Amino acid sequence: MLKKREYIFLSLTVIVLCSFFIRQKTQVGEYIAKAAFIFNFTKFVEWEKSEANTSTFVIGVIGDSPIQQHLSELAANKTINNKKIEIVKCGAKTPSGCRCQILFVPETVSTADFQNFISELTTKNVLIISERKGFLDQGSAINFLVIENRIKFEISIQSLNRSNLKASSQLLKLATAIQN
């Protein structure tokens, strides 16, 4: 049998290892959750009617991001507003050429780049989702945050309005912060 000291040591080790693993997992699971969030956002956001005529729902991802893989996985099984989902990769320099309904801006995109294409995009009927602190002020509509290892988001009504998008009050309620 294990001695008491040995037992304590062993359990401490297990706890440390677990916490590490969980953190790891959160980093990996972060994009899975964000992908799910993105899909769920579509349920609370309304696009213009003209957009409704398109046959596919396109989600654009700038640059390379682990989220792309997860989005693709989800898109394979789901539809949004009875439309097939297409995941496209957009260039970091010219994302405006990327025709999509949601544009995900990963944290890899620099503030400068974001500022460059955002002015073009905001007039278009595109929901811009970023994951970098301060981007909401730069013109993003929804910005993911990680608070206490949990994924949260903030919303800018100003940006939504500019992009001619309507967000459900339910969604607004869930947002950690709302910018007018």
And the tokens for 50? 């003209």
Residue 174 CB, nearest distance to other proteins (Å)?
Answer: 5
Contacts with 156 (C-beta within 8 Å, 6 or more apart), sequence order: 136, 139, 140, 141, 142, 143, 178, 179, 180
Q: Name the one range near other proteins by CB under 8 A: 24-32, 40-48, 93-101, 118-126.
A: 40-48
Q: Nearer Cβ to other proteins, position 26 or 116? A: 26
- Looking at residue 133, the DSSP 8-state letter turns out to be T
By CB under 8 A, tell whether 93 contacts other proteins: no
Structural Rg of the chain based on CA atoms: 19
Residue from 86, 174, 178, 179 in contact with other proteins (CB under 8 A): 174
Task: Tell me the C-alpha distance between 68 and 107, whole Å.
Answer: 13
By CB under 8 A, tell whether 142 contacts other proteins: no
By CB under 8 A, tell whether 4 contacts other proteins: no
Residue from 25, 43, 99, 166 in contact with other proteins (CB under 8 A): 43
Task: Tell me the C-alpha distance between 65 and 106, whole Å.
Answer: 7
Phi, psi of 167 (to 5 degrees): -110, 145
One-letter amino acid at 76 equals: A
By CB under 8 A, tell whether 168 contacts other proteins: yes
Q: Nearer Cβ to other proteins, position 43 or 166? A: 43
Residue from 5, 50, 173, 180 in contact with other proteins (CB under 8 A): 173
Task: Tell me the C-alpha distance between 47 and 65, whole Å.
Answer: 25
Q: Count residues near other proteins (CB under 8 A).
A: 9
And the tokens for 95? 């994302």
By CB under 8 A, tell whether 179 contacts other proteins: no
Q: Could you list the residues that contact other proteins (CB under 8 A)?
A: 37, 40, 43-44, 168, 170-171, 173-174
